[in-house]
Amino acid sequence: MKNIQIDDTLGIPKYRQIINSIYQGILSGNLKVGDKIPSLNQICVEFELSRDTVMVAFNELKAKGIINSIPGKGYYINSTEVNVDQRIFLLFDELNAFKEDVYTSFLNSLDTKSNVDIYFHHFNFQVFKDLISEAAGNYTSYVIMPATFDQTSDIISILPKDNVYILDRKKEDLSDYPVIYQDFEGDVFRALENGKDLLEKYRKLVMVFPGGKEPEGRMIGFEKFCKKNKMKYEVVRSLIDRTIEKGEAYFVPSDRNLVKLVKMADANCFKLGEDFGIVSFNDTMLKEVVAGGITTISTDFQLMGQNLAKMISDRSKSQISNPAQLIRRKSL
């Protein structure tokens, strides 16, 4: 049969011989993008192989992006990049400065035989579901950032379980999957304990927590710290119609609210770090210089990317809490 060679005398599994035949056809120039390959049934009959054996070969070729199937027509060559060992599906919630740090660190930590396709669901559940459905069977590894979505196990279960990795949030219904996550509640509580010496000079701590896509654990950790240390505190949904006062320290997940607070402090001639305090979340290079430096509570996003690459490379089933810390700067 053209392009498929099986030798019973070789000590190489039959499914691997099918894969090697396709690779050889591509390398020799006999197979090009768009060319049709023998069907599953044709190979089974010609070489007296089980359907499962051929399907294992086809699934691996499909996962690496080498072949693709067209319903009712058969399998075709989709790519001639046969030197790619890993084809990774990466589903983020959104792109921002710190997610870009994770992505860049992840890419830099992978070997040169890995290709990564990145997608974003933008906190839209239907988009999340559709992207996973379309990706199923087309990649060797799947990295999923479920964000605020709960009860996603049925959707993710269509993917090969041994090749799925969860990122950023630990979900109860996804507890069987390897994950690198932020312990939002614990991270905030420990960071505030470490910065207690800075916070004691403020008469009131205020967290601006709009809800929605923001992790509720941050608010819980904040309240836990304030109650434990008997500090006066308040949680507000927004800064609309809010009047800031001397002696207050604000905690803001949103960078938009961070900018508003810096402007409000400047308009009131409040000196950051003395009259008025600001703590932001998720460190970026810009926060190192804004208003002389913004204090942040942040996980190590570069380490998250590095650990993710290592987890996939090692096929690790670990569940890792990514470390976070309070980064002290002028604003507190």
**Using one digit for the tens of pLDDT, what is the confidence trace for 104-158?**
999 999 987 788 999 999 999 999 999 999 998 888 899 999 999 989 999 999 9
User: 31, 3 in Cβ contact below 8 A?
Assistant: yes
d(C-alpha 124, C-alpha 27), whole Å: 42
User: 75, 68 in Cβ contact below 8 A?
Assistant: yes
Identical fold between 14-77 and 86-182+301-323? no
Sign, CA dihedral 59-65-67-71, equals positive
State the CATH architecture for 184-299.
3-Layer(aba) Sandwich (3.40)
Tens-digit pLDDT profile for residues 71-93? 888 999 998 887 777 889 999 99
Annotated domain spans of the chain: 14-77, 86-182+301-323, 184-299
d(C-alpha 195, C-alpha 217), whole Å: 18
pLDDT band at 307 (very low <50, low <70, confident <90, very high): very high
Higher pLDDT, 112 or 162: 162
Residues in the chain: 332
- CATH number for the domain whose boundaries are 86-182+301-323: 3.40.50.2300
pLDDT at 178 over 70: yes
Continuous H helices in 120-254: 125-135, 153-156, 184-194, 196-199, 216-228
Tens-digit pLDDT profile for residues 115-125? 899 999 999 99
As a whole number, the mean pLDDT across the chain is 92
Eight-class DSSP state of 323: P
d(C-alpha 231, C-alpha 40), whole Å: 69
Query: CB neighbours of 140 closer than 8 A, spacing ≥ 6?
Result: 63, 64, 85, 86, 87, 88, 163
pLDDT given for residue 264 in this prediction? 95
Q: How much of the chain, in percent, has pLDDT values that exceed 90? A: 73
pLDDT given for residue 71 in this prediction? 86
pLDDT given for residue 138 in this prediction? 82
At which residue do the structure tokens 């608010």 appear? 219
- CATH number for the domain whose boundaries are 14-77: 1.10.10.10
pLDDT given for residue 1 in this prediction? 66
